[in-house]
Chains A and B, each alone.
Chain A
Amino acid sequence: MIDFFIIPVIKVIILFTVCLLIVAYTTWAERKILGHIQLRYGPMRVGWHGLLQPIADGIKNFFKEEVIPDNADKAVFLLAPVISISVAIILLAIIPFGEPFTIFGKKITLWLANPSIGILFILGFATLGSYGTILGGWSSGNKYGYMGGLRASAMILSYELSLAFAVISIIMMTGSLSLVDMVSAQHGLWNVVKQPVAFFVFLISGTAELNRTPFDMPEAESELCCGYNVEYSSMKFALFFLAEYTHMFVFASLVTTLFLGGWHGPFLPGIVWFFIKTFAIIFVCIWVRATFPRLRYDKVMKLEWKFLLPVALANVIVTGAVMALV
Chain B
Amino acid sequence: MAEGKTITLNMGPHHPATHGVLRVEVELDGEIIVKATPYIGYLHRGIEKLAESKNYQQAIPLSDRLDYASASANNMGYCTAVEKLMGIEVPKRAQYLRVIMAELARIMGHHLWIGTHALDIGAMTVIFYAFRDREMIMDINEEIAGYRLTPTFFRIGGVAADTTPDFIKKVREFVKWFPKALQGYHTLLTENKIWTTRTMGIGPISAKDAINAGLTGPSLRGSGVAYDIRKAFPYSSYDDFDFKIPVGEKGDVYDRYLVRMEEFAQSIKIIDQAIENLPEGPVAIDSPWITNPDLVSVQTDISELARRFVLHTKGPVGPDKEVYHAVEGAKGELGFYLVGDGTEHPFRMKVRSPCFYLASALPRLLVGHMIADAIAIIGSIDVVLGEIDR
* Chain A residues within CB distance 8 Å of chain B: 34, 37-40, 143-144, 147, 213-214, 216, 220-225, 289-299
Contacts and interface: CB of A to CB of B under 8 A. Distances in A.
Contacts of A38: 124-125, 128-129
Contacts of A292: 122-123, 192, 194
Contacts, number: 78
Nearest to B199: A293
Nearest to A37: B125
B60 interface: no
Interface string B1-32: 00000010100000111000000000000010
Interface of B: 7, 9, 15-17, 31, 118-125, 128-129, 132, 188-189, 192, 194-195, 197-198, 370-373, 375
A293 B195 contact: yes
B7 A143 contact: yes
A293 B197 CA distance: 10
Nearest to A226: B16
Residue among B7, B119, B129, B198 facing the most chain A CB atoms (10 A cut-off): B198
Contacts of A290: 124-125
Contacts of A144: 9
Given A290-B124, A293-B121, A293-B195, A225 B15 contact: yes
14 contacts: A38-B128, A38-B129, A39-B132, A222-B119, A222-B122, A223-B375, A292-B194, A293-B123, A293-B195, A294-B372, A296-B198, A296-B373, A298-B370, A299-B198
Residue among A225, A289, A292 facing the most chain B CB atoms (10 A cut-off): A292
Given A225-B15, A294-B372, 19 more contacts: A38-B129, A143-B9, A147-B31, A147-B371, A214-B194, A220-B372, A222-B121, A222-B122, A223-B17, A223-B375, A224-B371, A292-B122, A292-B194, A293-B118, A293-B189, A294-B198, A295-B198, A296-B373, A299-B198
B148 to A, nearest CB: 19
A208 B19 CA distance: 28
Contacts of A147: 9, 31, 371
Nearest to A221: B16
Given A38-B125, A39-B129, A296 B192 contact: no
A293 B193 CA distance: 9
Residue among B31, B192, B372 facing the most chain A CB atoms (10 A cut-off): B372
A258 to B, nearest CB: 26
Nearest to A214: B194
A144 B124 CA distance: 21
Nearest to A35: B128
